[in-house]
């Protein structure tokens, strides 16, 4: 009999479940957070978010964001849209320019989740 033929409910006699210290993340929460992490899982988007967050008030004009990032303006606009749709940025049109602002609550949520999963804080 191969391992694939064994019933899933058979546990190794040496395997002992460790007690939980908190409930695991729900599927709904994981799906919600995955959208945020997926949006951040690109180097250009991380750099754009950092460029915006590093400005006074966590806000920057789109005209200031292409400096030092070797992609075209349409590509930058696409990445900003992904970050905005994920809820990590907001945008506001002022005359002919669009200003982007970091959503502090979204970043705080990610930070909190990572700290909990790392055991740095309790839920």
pLDDT of residue 17: 85
Query: In this structure, is residue 122 part of a structural domain?
Result: no
Total of domains in the chain: 1
Query: In this structure, is residue 59 part of a structural domain?
Result: yes
Query: In this structure, is residue 13 part of a structural domain?
Result: no
pLDDT band at residue 112 using 50, 70 and 90 as cut-offs:
very high
Query: In this structure, is residue 21 part of a structural domain?
Result: no
Q: Report the CATH number at residue 106.
A: 1.10.10.10
For 49-84, what is each residue's pLDDT tens digit? 999 999 998 899 988 888 888 999 999 999 999 999
Task: Provide the 3-class DSSP secondary structure of residue 91.
Answer: strand
Contact in structure between 51 and 76 (CB atoms under 8 Å): no
Query: In this structure, is residue 17 part of a structural domain?
Result: no
Query: In this structure, is residue 1 part of a structural domain?
Result: no
For 5-57, what is each residue's pLDDT tens digit? 555 555 566 788 888 778 888 999 999 999 999 999 999 999 999 999 999 98
Quickly list DSSP for 21-55: SSPPPPHHHHHHHHHHHHHHSSHHHHHHHHHHHTS
Query: In this structure, is residue 48 part of a structural domain?
Result: yes
Average pLDDT over residues 101-119: 92
Query: In this structure, is residue 46 part of a structural domain?
Result: yes
Cα distance between residue 32 and residue 123, in whole Å:
18
Residue 42 belongs to what domain range? 26-117
């Amino acid at each position: 009999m191969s391992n694939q033929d064994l019933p899933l409910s058979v546990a190794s006699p040496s395997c002992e479940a460790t007690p939980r210290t908190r409930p695991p993340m729900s599927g709904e929460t994981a799906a919600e957070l995955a959208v945020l992490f997926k949006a951040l899982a690109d180097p250009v988007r991380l750099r754009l978010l950092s460029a915006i967050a590093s400005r006074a008030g966590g806000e920057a004009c789109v005209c200031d964001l292409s400096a030092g990032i070797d992609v075209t303006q349409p590509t930058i606009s696409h990445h900003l849209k992904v970050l905005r749709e994920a809820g990590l940025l907001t945008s506001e049109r002022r005359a002919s320019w669009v200003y982007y602002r970091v959503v502090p609550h979204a970043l705080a949520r990610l930070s909190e989740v990572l700290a909990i999963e790392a055991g740095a804080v309790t839920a």
